[in-house]
Amino acid sequence: MKEKILKPLILILFINLWLQGCDKSDNELNPSVELQDFVWKGFNAYYLYQEDIDDLSDRRFSSNQQLESYLSGFDSPESIFNSLKKSTDSRSLLIENYEINDLPSPSRTSFTTGMEFGLFKDPNVLDTLIGHVSHILPTSQASTLNLLRGDFFYGVINEETDTIFLREDNYRTLLIDYPQDTLKLLMAYYDGDSLAKNDIRVDLVKQNYQYPPILLNKVFNLGAKNVGYLLYNNDFSDNYIEDLNASMLEFKNQSVNELIIDLRYAIGSYSNAKTISEIASMITGQFPDEILFKETWNNKSQIWFEQNQPDSLLTKFPSTLQNNSSINGLNLTDVYIILNGNSFSGSSATELLMNSLKPYINVHVLGNKTQGDNLGAIYLYDSPDYNAFNINPNHTYSLRPSVLTFSNKENETYNSGITPTLALCPVEDPLNLGELGEVSDPLLNLTLSYISTGNLGVNYPCNPFELEIIYNSIDSQRIIDKGTYIKQDLPNLGR
């Protein structure tokens, strides 16, 4: 995130902090343990939990010979990595091939029909499922057909022209992993009580598809409140930051003064702190160069940064994107973030955004409680300064350890999660989906009502027919959250 140039004298002084009494001029370590040595030294230098791991203590070894003897007890970098990693740490990673991992994150694509859907049990027929269309992706093959959000289907016609009903033991083969080119879907009517076939068949064909970052945006006029609505479709990587900035310009030109960010179909995964700071400035804009969030490292690193680079621990509201184009700030005082979906609680990036904005504007969270992931990670390479230059050519391993925690301007963090302002149903009701971007959509309607009245008591019945939801195609696309990444030049501690 921050790229600093360190003075050679500081680097020399900092080397001595990693190991008291270790004289590197005695004997260099045996090349057979160079990978284990890289893992140990990277963890010893920057791992957030360094003080909690006895084998990472600065006093653990008094000589290189002792260190080498210890490292020789591990037959692979994976074994020492797992030995040193805190048992509760699910974020830190050992990467076997950084040459693959460091490739630019590709834009989201897939081979799809463009129909997103869910499945629930037919309460009247044992082991029978009913499908419903949750939404249609714009410009996809499905968008050219007579197929709408809220439509129902009960089966498919296979290659032998047989009608096959959906069941728990066949729906994956029929709807997801089917071998034929065309999915022939059989449609029906359903009212919560009885299923009625309607003799309509929809032929779906998979095509290469690049997902737009934003499914739709529009503005609702609520008297003095011009509410921008943005239905987001992807992760918060820098792939889509310019699209977001363009949408904010549209909102700005329409005098939007309150904003809804709907993340019900967002997929999570990759994010970096720099991108989150840019999004924060798009929502606001009236706080240039004010502190947005702070970093707290392990004790050893924290002391050095505070004494030598205190500003590197602070991220402020930026005024430009990384490509130097101006950020289109909306100067808002209120933002409404929808986190809805079965077990969907946003992402570490979403939490960082919400917690960081909280001292400045009103952040209204609608939906589920968030998971409480306030960790930041960095990439470490086996090089003199842990950066991607002059890397040891003998291997392609890198480390991605958790190294810090985030807090906002007021030193508030969110390791216990963020409680929603207004709880929502855990899943959308298949019988009451409405139209996306219209007030017939219950989630949007509820949010607009809350904006208009401030009434937290507004609610609607969740799943009144008590349908048992079996599958949702969006849930299956959500990627395991890898946490929030930062880019920061480091002192070469222990190298």
- What is the pLDDT confidence band of residue 199, given thresholds at 50, 70 and 90? confident
- What is the pLDDT confidence band of residue 14, given thresholds at 50, 70 and 90? very low
Predicted confidence (pLDDT) at residue 268 exceeds the cutoff of 80: no
- What is the pLDDT confidence band of residue 21, given thresholds at 50, 70 and 90? very low
Q: What is the pLDDT of residues 286-314, one digit of tens each?
A: 999 999 999 999 999 999 899 988 999 99
Mean pLDDT over the full length of the chain: 89
Q: What is the pLDDT of residues 84-111, one digit of tens each?
A: 999 999 889 999 999 877 666 778 889 9
Q: What is the pLDDT of residues 230-242, one digit of tens each?
A: 999 888 888 899 9
Cα 259–Cα 261–Cα 264 angle in degrees, nearest 5: 155
Predicted confidence (pLDDT) at residue 6 exceeds the cutoff of 50: no
Say how many Å lie between the first and final Cα of the chain, rounded. Answer: 22
HEC assignment per residue over the chain: CECCCCCHHHHHHHHCCCCCCCCCCCCCCCHHHHHHHHHHHHHHHHCCCHHHCHHHCCCCCCCHHHHHHHHCCCCCHHHHHHHHCCCCCCCCEEECCHHHHCCCCCCCEEEECCEEEEEEECCCCCCCEEEEEEEECCCCCHHHCCCCCCCEEEEEECCCCCEEECCCCCHHHHHCCCCCCEEEEEEEEECCCCEEEEEEEEEEECEEEECCCEEEEEEEEECCEEEEEEEECCCECCCCHHHHHHHHHHHHHCCCCEEEEECCCCCCCCEEHHHHHHHHHHHCCCCCCCEEEEEEECHHHHHHHHHHCHHHHEEECCCECCCCCECCCCCCCEEEEEECCCCCCCCHHHHHHHHHHCCCCEEEEEECCCCCCCEEECCEECCCCCCCCCCCCCCCCEEECEEEEEEECCCCCCCCCCCCCEECCCCCCCCCCCCCCCCCCHHHHHHHHHHHHCCCCCCCCCCCCCCCEEEEHHHHHCCCCCCEECCECCCCCCC
CATH of 214-465+473-485, one of 3.40.50.300, 3.90.226.10, 3.20.20.140, 1.10.510.10: 3.90.226.10
Rounding to the nearest 10 degrees, give the CA dihedral for residues 301, 289, 400, 272: 170
Q: Average pLDDT in the 365-379 region?
A: 90
Predicted confidence (pLDDT) at residue 218 exceeds the cutoff of 90: yes
Q: Average pLDDT in the 134-155 region?
A: 97
Q: Average pLDDT in the 267-274 region?
A: 78
* pLDDT recorded at residue 379: 93
Residue 400's nearest CA partner among 380, 430, 420 is 380
Report yes or no on whether pTM surpasses 0.85: yes
Longest distance between any two alpha carbons in the chain, whole Å: 84
Predicted confidence (pLDDT) at residue 2 exceeds the cutoff of 50: no
**Contact in structure between 89 and 126 (CB atoms under 8 Å):** no
Predicted confidence (pLDDT) at residue 11 exceeds the cutoff of 50: no
* pLDDT recorded at residue 16: 44
Predicted confidence (pLDDT) at residue 457 exceeds the cutoff of 70: yes
Segments making up each domain of the chain, as ranges: 23-99, 109-210, 214-465+473-485
* pLDDT recorded at residue 8: 35
* pLDDT recorded at residue 205: 97
* pLDDT recorded at residue 107: 82
- Tell me the C-alpha distance between 353 and 224, whole Å: 26
Q: Average pLDDT in the 253-263 region?
A: 97
Cα 391–Cα 397–Cα 402 angle in degrees, nearest 5: 100
Q: Which amino acid is at 286?
A: Q
* pLDDT recorded at residue 4: 37
- Tell me the C-alpha distance between 59 and 101, whole Å: 34
Rounding to the nearest 10 degrees, give the CA dihedral for residues 343, 344, 345, 350: 170
Fold (topology level) of 109-210: Pdz3 Domain (2.30.42)
* Per-residue tokens: 47: 């791992």
- Tell me the C-alpha distance between 92 and 375, whole Å: 10
Q: Which amino acid is at 465?
A: F
Predicted confidence (pLDDT) at residue 58 exceeds the cutoff of 60: yes
HSE toward the beta carbon, residue 244, CA cutoff 13 A: 27
* pLDDT recorded at residue 17: 43
* Per-residue tokens: 320: 């430009």
Predicted confidence (pLDDT) at residue 483 exceeds the cutoff of 80: no
Burial 453-479 (b: 16+ CB within 10 A, else e): eeeeeeeeeebeeebebebbbbeebbe
Q: What percent of the chain has pLDDT over 70?
A: 90
- What is the pLDDT confidence band of residue 19, given thresholds at 50, 70 and 90? very low
Q: Which amino acid is at 365?
A: V
- Using the structure block, give the residue that is written with the tokens 């929809």: 202
**Contact in structure between 254 and 368 (CB atoms under 8 Å):** no
- What is the pLDDT confidence band of residue 80, given thresholds at 50, 70 and 90? very high
Q: Average pLDDT in the 467-482 region?
A: 85
Alpha-carbon distances of 253 from 220, 285, 333, 336, rounded to whole Å: 14, 15, 17, 20
**Contact in structure between 361 and 335 (CB atoms under 8 Å):** yes
Q: What is the pLDDT of residues 344-359, one digit of tens each?
A: 666 888 999 999 999 9
Angle between the N-to-C axes of helices 34-46 and 77-84, in degrees from 0 to 180, rounded to the nearest 10: 20
